A and B are shown apart, each in its own frame.
Chain A
Amino acid sequence: MTSDTSAAATERLVGLEELADHVVAILAGHGDGVEGNVLTVHHRHGLTRFANSSVHQHVREDSTEVMLTVAVDGRTATASTTRVDHDSLRALVDGAVASARLQPVDPLWPGATPPEPVTAAGNLDPGTAAADPDERVGVVAAFIDADDALDAAGYVDTELIEAAFASTAGQRASGATTRATLDGIHQTATSAGSAHQTSVRIADLDGAAAGRRAADRARRSEEFVDVEPGRFEVILGPEAVSTLLTFLGVYGFNAKSHHEGGSFAELGAAQFDPSITILEDPTDPRSVGLPFDAEGTPRRRNVLVADGVTRSLAHDRRTAARTGVASTGNAVPGGSSMGPVPTRIVMPPGEASVDDMVARVRYGLLVTQFHYVRVLDPKTLVATGLTRNGTFLIRDGAVAQAVGNLRFTQSFVDALAPEAVLGVGDDDRYADGEFGAGVVICPSLHLAGWNFTGGAQG
């Protein structure tokens, strides 16, 4: 960390606060009956992408965006712009107000966000905020050099998000966060193995360790056999579990989906095995993300499933008002269609090591990662997808050999149902998932059954 970096970050946050206040002032100038929320975001993102064991794309973005939701006597409109000069901002506000005036009353508009303290500032690492291309390339080089006989591909990125929120009702919030991710594979002619690391700090990324892990998986998968599809006992690695949890969050714990009858969630019901607890926990010191949501509501710890019992949903201010509860801080930008989405999902670890879990399996599969998962029925969360980057047959308590990728068709709710979970791993960490990095912290899981419905050749 350098003092120059801290000063620059502080200066920009002040700038974002002033920008948000400026837009609120323009909004207030439209007179009585006009209210709204303003979110200003500065995004700095650097991403170094490698393939065929060399860097081929290397990008950097610096952008500022203003997002505005206005209500005129309860008639709402949303607008955003990356053009932050005075004339553009006035045009943004005037256009949104004019649009809103033409609309029917929005019955679900909960009002501009009222004052509520945001006590956290976000997890910011100045070194990551200031990371330069050479630092990212250094991590890439270590990953590739871990086994230079193999073919490596993936990315290393660093992200800084700074944001300020202001509402006409008096809420003010600001904060910043950083994220650094290494996601890569090593490949042989017939196989691939992956590794993933995400942290608030780029200094935590260990390219050499990740490279060795990916290369080991690839080499162990080089000679593989195809197994007949069917129902298998499985151990799912953190990447595979992360995908399950993401889909549970988007489709099931989303209060809008629940209200519309499209969610499996039944509050108070023992829908999962007692070993399953799922929560959102922005207070986790590993957690990346801003301390408030797109509506300026503080993010808070929210237990979605406790010991197998569904306890809560993710809410924004719209769904919260409709249900008569408080928002859980899950509003996403432009999210009135999508509804509130959990983005800081945590599954606490158990006590079993992966080796312990493997030792308990007579005949089953060890799955590293899923690929291209899509939902067939949102309510039952039946989904299909494929395995990828290392799938292994377990026989008599030991990993016997690699198998070819398999297609599954499986209800994610049924997979975690009472008595369906045989073990929770002790290896919790940030895991990659279908919707990207920095969303889910979870361990491996040992499950009684998983429906594989096709092999690599259909």
Chain B
Amino acid sequence: MVAGSGMYALAVEGVDAAIAAGAGYADARVVIRQQERVAAQNGEVESLVHATDAGVSVRALVGSSWGFAATSELTEPDAARAGADATATARASARVGGPGLRLEDVPVVEDSYTTPHREAPFTVPLDEKVRVVTEATRTMAAVEGVAIATAQIMLWDTEKWFVSSQGHRIHQRILEAGAGMDATAVDAHETQRRSYPQAFGHVETGGYEVVRGLDLVAHAQRVGEEAVQLLTAPPCPSGEMDLILESSQLALQIHESVGHAIELDRILGWEAAFAGTSFLDLERLGSLQYGSELMNITADATIPGALGTFAYDDEGTPAQRVPIVEEGVWVGALTGRDTAHLAGLPPGGMVRADGFNRIPMVRMTNVGILPGDSSLDEIIADTRHGVLMETNRSWSIDDKRLNFQFGCEVGWEIVDGTRRRMVKNPTYTGITPTFWSSLDRLAGEDEWQAWGVPNCGKGQPMQVGHTGHPATPARFRGVRIGVNGGEGRG
């Protein structure tokens, strides 16, 4: 067992062992991550989980391949063994090696950072958290017709010490907090669900004040009632018409059809066999029309409170704001030091790992759209026939990030500028650049929100990433809406 001040020493031990074994570059991370999840169902505590995972990992570069070794044993001999293993593993890859990898230069810094927060999440009494989730679910479950009501509070406190063979010494403490709830109504034929504030909950960087700000209990009655109303709501109309997305669904649309597509490791083919590649070709960087002129996307790891905010990524590169799409034209990508060098791009500080035992990889930071000058009310008033869709229910996109289909929890048919009625099982489908080119109205800063997605899967072994997606309500013209498969679904 090593005290906090000894963590740098462990990391140094790992890096030195990797370099001594022949690596051209090495870095090490000591990570101690605590997670707490308090969940309730129908007024009863469903699970109360506290997890700690801690360990040291070393990443070593030999020729064209990274070697990576992780151990949960926090001792100097084990850290050194991980360093030597990382280099040996990288060297074994030489039998099927490729062109040598080089790292783009970044500032070598010694620094420390803690997420700004008001209430450290684990200092809040557990019974207070339990009261929130049980009361919220009790309220939702009391609505006649609600079969299942769940709520959860999710908290993370992650400390990491990063050391590189180039001289980095960076300590960060990242705090993340969030909550969410949903009500499910069931009849003989189907289930309908409503969630708040978005599907799978919403998470930000910060302390317990994030959870307080969501005020689950205040929204519980409405969420329960809407779930029941959906059972008897008419089905979403089918056809090509205007689509209005509220901001959390637009956030997921950005995540899937922009965020993953601009990951440089995908573009370079590194994820081809699993998650897929990208329709984007680096030769068209700077000229490809991604969407309409209203489309301005940035990857900005400096937005206060957003889930993809930090001071340095897991390669020691400073957090920054990078333009991705400007007035509809593709201009930037998500990069790490190695992929940036291959593509001739600046390193964007976008490489992160899920815990001590996963290799850092290109990850979204806060990939979001800049606000427009309209409002949701104005957009609705300006729409003759369309559907407003809220809260994601399903998401699917092909392996080039082109062909997507999303389902939402609830739709509102818009006729002649007013919400005519609630509709159920709303879905829409499209092709990424065509869809984004149909963007013609975008709400303004007042409705701009940095949504947090805490469940982004990528990589092998699978890593779960935390990403942020600022978004506002938006309208898209002539979208194919209401795809139902023709059976078993109204």
Contacts and interface: CB of A to CB of B under 8 A. Distances in A.
Interface of A: 45-65, 76-85, 87-88, 92, 95-96, 99-100, 102-104, 106-107, 132-134, 137-138, 140-141, 144, 151, 153-155, 157, 183-185, 187, 192, 194, 231, 260-262, 334, 336-337, 371-380, 382, 384-386, 388, 405, 407-411, 413-414, 436, 451, 453-454, 456-458
B98 A153 contact: no
Contacts of A384: 394, 396, 405, 407, 427, 483, 485
B434 interface: yes
A410 B46 contact: no
A88 B147 CA distance: 40
A102 B127 CA distance: 6
A376 B50 contact: no
Contacts of A88: 1, 52
A166 B53 CA distance: 21
Contact of B398 (A46, A95, A138, A405): A405
Contacts of B125: 102
Contacts of B394: 374-376, 384
Given A82-B55, A155-B273, A384-B396, A60 B89 contact: yes
A380 B273 contact: no
A451 B431 contact: no
The 6 closest A-B pairs by CB, nearest first: A409-B485, A54-B98, A133-B92, A55-B93, A63-B72, A261-B186
A374 B457 CA distance: 14
B230 to A, nearest CB: 11
Contacts, number: 297
B405 A61 contact: no
Interface string B471-483: 0000000001001
Contact of B485 (A155, A183, A410): A410
Interface stretch (B60-68, B110-118, B201-209): B60-68
Choose among A65, A379, A408 the residue with the greatest number of B CB atoms under 10 Å from its CB. Answer: A379
B189 A379 contact: yes
B434 to A, nearest CB: 7
Given A64-B72, A103-B45, A231-B486, A262 B64 contact: no
A166 to B, nearest CB: 19
A58 B190 contact: no
Contacts of B402: 456
B281 to A, nearest CB: 12
A64 B54 CA distance: 10
A411 B488 contact: yes
B374 to A, nearest CB: 27
A407 B51 contact: no
The residue among A46, A192, A458 with the most chain B CB atoms within 10 A of its own CB is: A458
Contact of B489 (A52, A106, A380): A380
B461 A59 contact: yes
Given A58-B67, A81-B52, A107-B44, A50 B96 contact: yes
Given A56-B65, A371-B276, A384-B394, A133 B89 contact: yes
Contacts of B395: 374
B83 to A, nearest CB: 12
Contacts of A100: 48
Given A83-B52, A405-B398, A409-B405, A102 B130 contact: yes
Interface string B185-201: 01001110000000000
A183 B461 CA distance: 13
12 contacts: A54-B93, A63-B70, A78-B49, A83-B52, A102-B126, A371-B398, A374-B396, A376-B394, A384-B396, A409-B427, A409-B484, A453-B429
Contact of B64 (A48, A54, A183, A185): A54
Given A59-B359, A63-B72, A409-B483, A262 B148 contact: yes
Interface stretch (B169-177, B264-272, B307-315): B264-272
B131 to A, nearest CB: 10
Given A79-B49, A80-B53, A453-B483, 5 more contacts: A52-B269, A106-B45, A260-B147, A337-B41, A376-B427
Given A106-B45, A458-B429, A376 B393 contact: yes
Nearest to A186: B273
Contact of B191 (A133, A262, A336): A262
B383 interface: no
B460 interface: yes
B88 to A, nearest CB: 7
B269 A260 contact: no
B93 A58 contact: yes
A260 to B, nearest CB: 5
A451 B487 contact: yes
Interface string B364-404: 00000000000000000000000000000111111100110
